[in-house]
Amino acid sequence: MTATLKQATGPQFTRILSFGAARGENAVPNDDLIGPIDSSDEWIRQRTGIITRARAVKETDAIDLATIAAAEAIEKAGVAASEVDLVIVATISNPKQSPSVSAIVADRVGSNPAAAYDVNAACAGYAYAIAQADALIRAGAARYALVIGTEKLSDVVDPADRSISFLLGDGAGAALIGPSETPGIAPAVWGSDGSKADAVGMNGTLTQFRDGEVPWPTLRQEGPTVFRWAVWEMAKVAREALDVAGIEAADLAAFIPHQANMRIIDEFAKQLKLPETTVIARDIETTGNTSAASIPLASHRLMAEHPELSGGLALQIGFGAGLVFAAQVVVLP
Amino acid sequence: MAFTNDEVLAGLSELITDETGIDGSAVALEKSFTDDLDIDSISMMTIVVNAEEKFGVTIPDDEVKNLKTVGDAVNFIVAGQA
């Protein structure tokens, strides 16, 4: 007779319990960056909406930022660190490929031996990881999950690049996900389009750098191509995320898009026909574009400035190098 | 029904005014989007997407950089109408 296997099942629903945040120590104004790109404060503000971007000092790395953000999320949730049994870190800028950021952070915050792995989905990484944490908890594979987006993008910028470098900042945002009595994380609409892999990403490989064939690889983008995709294609994804959540734009208390560029955020909001009552996250103004960290950082700030949003619905959408994208509606903690 | 050159110019002029606030009378065939009208790449892309919808044509990303003047855009749109 064949023995019957056990399979895990989990709680029916999950939700975000708390957010944590850490930003690079320095607020870098546009004037500090305009020399090598022959630009001006006004040019950068007009095209990106950025006034200052947060950048970390040499001694601070993405693991440090992630640890601070994660510790805050754990403390705010009121869950013991030892109860966290899953840590997912979204990042593209850790200069050491192995070991993972997540395993080190799990240990540092007191969640050793949680399952831990990193996700490479660029600016969609956090939304990807939220989808995974939700699914894994509901499947019974974990109970409390830390989802962290962390980047030290200032390590992969070229001061003379006019396409993306001046947008980028350093920071980490974390969310603690756990079981819920009521629905708190709607299905993700996610995907990729590798045919546009050249639109945004690193401009060289480490082996090319080793062999002296290219300078230190840094990020580049085809700005107009990315802009078109990020607004008009992503608006369709955002509408689909509302559909699968069973809600309408008018139900949104907040809209938290990846903080890529204020012009994208503004045009996006216009395409979605958001009501005036929907609060739009605009953390980019003083943080810059922090890739995987931008949505949780913007969420954290939104909750600090608008505590009345607690319990409200937020649409979050990440999109970036791959190209990859993910959107879902969540209940704000 | 296909749009004529004049109709495309008038429609494009409206889209440019909507996006940038530039007075429609300043939009003429020989004007350069960047040098004369001071339209940046992000506004240009917004105008392109709105023009695609308005005139029922496709303007690929690679083609946008070849559209230096308003006349280039009008010609491309008129020729692109199936």
Mean pLDDT of successive 10-residue segments in chain B (82 residues)? 88 92 89 90 90 92 90 92 74
CATH number at residue B37: 1.10.1200.10
Task: Please tell me whether residues A21 and A71 are part of one structural domain.
Answer: yes
Report the CATH number at residue A69: 3.40.47.10
> Closest Cα partner for A173 from A304, A48, A326?
A304
CB contact under 8 A, B45 and A222: no
DSSP state at residue A4: P
Do A205 and A166 share a domain, yes or no?
Answer: no
Q: What is the CA radius of gyration of chain B?
A: 11
Active site residue A123: yes
Answer yes or no: do A194 and A169 share one domain: no
**Residues 6 or more apart whose Cβ sits within 8 Å of residue A240:** A189, A327
Task: Identify the DSSP state of A36.
Answer: T
**CA angle (B17 as vertex; B12, B18 as ends), nearest 5:** 95
Total domains present in chain A:
2
Q: What is the pLDDT of residue A57?
A: 98
In a domain, A285, yes or no: yes
Which pLDDT score, from 0 to 100, does residue A203 have? 95
> In terms of pTM, does the model score above 0.95?
no
pLDDT at A69: 98
Q: If you count them, how many residues does chain A have? A: 333
The tally of domains found in chain B comes to: 1
Closest CA to A118 of A135, A131, A104, A100: A100
- Closest CB from A222, A227, A232 relative to B42: A227
Helix, strand, coil percentages for chain B (3-state, nearest 5): 60, 0, 40
Residues A174 and A293 in one domain: no
Q: Which helix (H) or strand (E) holds B43?
A: helix B41-55
Q: Is the Cα torsion angle A99, A170, A159, A166 positive or negative in sign?
A: positive
Choosing from A180, A208, A241, the residue where a domain stops is A180
ipTM over 0.85: no
**Are A162 and A284 within one domain?**
no
The predicted model gives A268-285 an average pLDDT of 94
Of A62-66, A180-184, A273-277, A326-330, which gets the smallest average pLDDT? A273-277
Q: Which domain holds residue A124?
A: 13-180
Interface contact flag, A267 B48, Cβ < 8 Å: no
Q: Is A120 a catalytic residue?
A: no
Q: How many whole angstroms separate alpha carbon A313 and alpha carbon A255?
A: 9
Task: State the CB neighbour count (10 A cutoff) for residue A11.
Answer: 14
**Shared domain check, A84 and A29:** yes
**Rg (Cα) of chain A, in Å, rounded?**
19
Indicate whether A93 belongs to any domain: yes
Question: A109 and A142 share a domain?
Answer: yes
Q: Compute the nearest-CA separation of B45 from chain A (Å).
A: 6
A13 touches chain B (CB under 8 A): no
Q: According to the model, what pLDDT value does residue B41 have?
A: 85
Q: Residue A292's pLDDT is what?
A: 98
Which residues numbered 251-270 in A keep a CB inside 8 Å of some CB on B?
261, 263, 267
Residue B64 domain boundaries: 5-80
Same domain, A174 and A206: no
- Distance in Å, alpha carbon of A194 to nearest chain B alpha carbon: 16
Of the three residues A180, A213, A248, the one that is the final residue of a domain is A180
Q: Higher confidence at residue A24 or residue A162?
A: A24
> In angstroms, rounded to a whole number, what is the distance separating the alpha carbons of residues A299 and A293?
10
* Domain annotation covers residue A287: yes
CA-CA-CA-CA torsion sign (A300, A304, A309, A310): positive
Same domain, A24 and A146: yes
Q: pLDDT tens digits for A75-119?
A: 999 999 999 999 999 999 999 999 999 999 999 999 999 999 999
Q: A174 and A74 in one domain?
A: yes
Q: Quick one: A194 and A321 in the same domain?
A: yes
- Over residues A163-189, the pLDDT tens digits come to 899 999 999 999 999 999 999 999 999
Residue to test with chain B: of A42, A196, A198, A225, most B Cβ within 10 A? A225
**Continuous H helices in chain A:** 41-48, 62-77, 101-108, 125-138, 206-210, 223-228, 234-245, 262-272, 284-287, 294-305
Q: What is the pLDDT of residues A316-328, one digit of tens each?
A: 999 999 999 999 9
Higher local confidence (pLDDT), A203 or B2 = A203
Domain match, A23 and A166 both? yes
Minimal Cβ distance to B41: which of A224, A231, A232? A224
